Structure 1
């Protein structure tokens, strides 16, 4: 399987993981201190072929996503769940540890993050759903992020991602229902 877009990853090991999964070109950020030169490459790739950002499901990975989004709006974003990106011994989390199937699923589900003021799901909806505050909120957000293919986020980030990915109320409540059903079992 070959992919048209250029995949932005953190490093060489991530490039190898992507290339085990499919045929694709990558740009490596070399960590969270993304250089201006790298941002220029990403912008050029975005204009010519499109870009999918695939970073580790951790704080530095989020920092890279944010920097790229600020400098190159309109890129697609793919997320690998932290359980699929965990090293066998459990000590490390990263794209490089994900299976080829997990990488392909993440890339297939890539979304464009849009800056929007339209609030389809309110903060009050998140509180009422038990996604903000409460003993099970973090677990529910984790599962919801996995179902919606938007990655794990804290309460404030979740609200922002729901808006940026333009998740409809129908999609949100359908995914939430799955999460709550899973919780009961």
Structure 2
């Protein structure tokens, strides 16, 4: 079982991040907003882990980030650049640079 958890919005975000990671990380997709039931089932199993949040740099991502900040106050928030907008369209070399400080990453070729 991994000690690190990365929360992203969708499956394309998860695929993009997996291309960069060189270690096993539990990547959870929220699929947008979180209901109270979904929050409870998401939060309880990961409260004692190192949680990282990487969501899109848009309105929906900002709302989700605010909700997760409230529920997971000790989580580390990672940000893509506004110009990239979505995690799934963030360049691989930028994602590698962003995640390097927190995860083992593959070297960019």
Under a length normalisation based on structure 1, what TM-score does the superposition of the two structures give? 0.48
Which runs of 5 or more structure 2 residues have no equivalent in the other structure? 103-109
Q: 1:105 aligns with which of 75, 92, 97?
A: 97
Higher helix share: 1
In 2, the alpha carbon distance for the partners of 1:37 and 1:106 equals 31
* Native 8 Å contact 1:7 1:26 kept in 2: yes
Residues 45 and 16 of structure 1: CA distance in aligned 2, closer, same or farther (over 3 Å) = same
Specify whether residues 109 and 80 from structure 1 end up closer, same or farther in structure 2 by C-alpha distance, changes over 3 A only. Answer: farther
Q: 1:42 to 1:99 in 2, by over 3 A?
A: farther
Q: Whose strand fraction is larger, Structure 1's or Structure 2's?
A: 2
Structure 1 residues 101 and 46: alpha-carbon distance in aligned structure 2, compared to 1, 3 A threshold: farther
Q: How many residues align?
A: 98
* Distance of aligned partners of 1:101 and 1:37 in 2 relative to their CA distance in 1, 3 Å threshold: farther
Structure 2: distance between partners of 1:62 and 1:73: 15
Instruction: Name the residue aligned to 2:39.
Output: 39
Number of the residue aligned with 1:94: 86
Which of the pair has the greater relative contact order for Cα pairs under 8 Å at 6+ separation? 2
Using the alignment, how far apart are the partners of 2:50 and 2:74 within structure 1? Answer: 9
Q: Larger Cα Rg: Structure 1 or Structure 2?
A: 1
